[in-house]
Amino acid sequence: MKTPVFKGSCTAIVTPFDEHGIDYERLGKNLDFQYENGTAAIVVCGTTGENATLSNDEHQELVRVTLRENAGRMKVIVGVGSNNTLTALKKAEGARAAGADAILMVTPYYNKTTQKGLIEHFTYVADRVEIPMILYNVPSRTGIGLTAETCRTLSQHPNIVGIKEASGDIALGAKIRSLCGDELFIWSGNDDCTVPLMSLGALGVISVASNIVPGAAAKLCALCLDGCFEEAAALYAKYAALISALFIETNPIPVKAAMKLMGLDSGLLRLPLVEISEQNGRRLAAAMRDVGLNV
């Protein structure tokens, strides 16, 4: 019987870069902020963490330091996805050796593959590393998505325990839940899909918004887990415009800008990402003020 890695809100945490690399002092403060506001888990080296710009050495060190600074307070899930299966395997081995609770593995981008290739890609890593794997379905980023039938096949592997469902397709989430049941736990990969997916049985969200409103994200998930969906919908409505503003430009451009406005200095962006435009920055700040954030 499989066990969920976490229930509730998981923050896809930003990576605070400076001119010399990664600012680990800022990272530690961000981890404290998450824990103090009820976050159940964090994803490090994910999309929001600009994983695509990390060198192999940076990836390993970021994982090691995150686990040390977290000190077991929250579950730690490590992004290991790659369009090179052997690279994903190496990162997965490093995450397991460092003591991570799970790995998050995105579908291979650019070279893509068939559904058969996806099954072999994920299975190759899951066969070789004894650590829980969460699949990551985000076709808007990768150009390829997992079908519900492919999820069903992968769910039979003992090490493949869940999916971060970020396609935005609620019907797909419903079909995955129907075909896989508790062999593949579901977490919403989009803040705006949290309530509908949790109403179908998802166990929480892997969130961008929780970088700045972790308490609200934790409360939203708690309400859903308790079956209080009317209250959860009302709480989501309060933050809907803010969540929309956090994606006005490519993630994590807006969320890093929002953190800076709050005094949670998130560090630099790495090229090809650039700072938020002045116009969009004003819209973001207005959305933050509307929910009571001091900016």
**Helical ranges in 113-269 per DSSP H:** 115-128, 139-142, 148-154, 170-180, 194-199, 214-225, 229-245, 253-261
Q: Is 294 helix (H, G, I), strand (E, B) or coil?
A: coil
Computed over its alpha carbons, how large is the radius of gyration of the chain?
Answer: 18
Three-class secondary structure of residue 207 per DSSP? strand
Contact 9, 220 (CB under 8 A): yes
For residue 274, the tally of other CB atoms under 10 A from its CB is 11
Q: Catalytic site residues?
A: 136, 164
Cα–Cα distances in angstroms (integers) from residue 278 to residues 50, 218, 221, 239, 251, in the given order = 22, 31, 33, 22, 16
How far is the C-alpha of 248 from the C-alpha of 255, rounded, in Å?
10
Q: Could you give phi then psi for residue 203, rounded to 5 degrees?
A: -100, 0
CA 73 to chain centre: 18
C-beta separation of 125 from 85 below 8 A:
yes
H or E element: which one contains 159? Answer: none
Nearest to 255 by CA among 276, 233, 226: 276
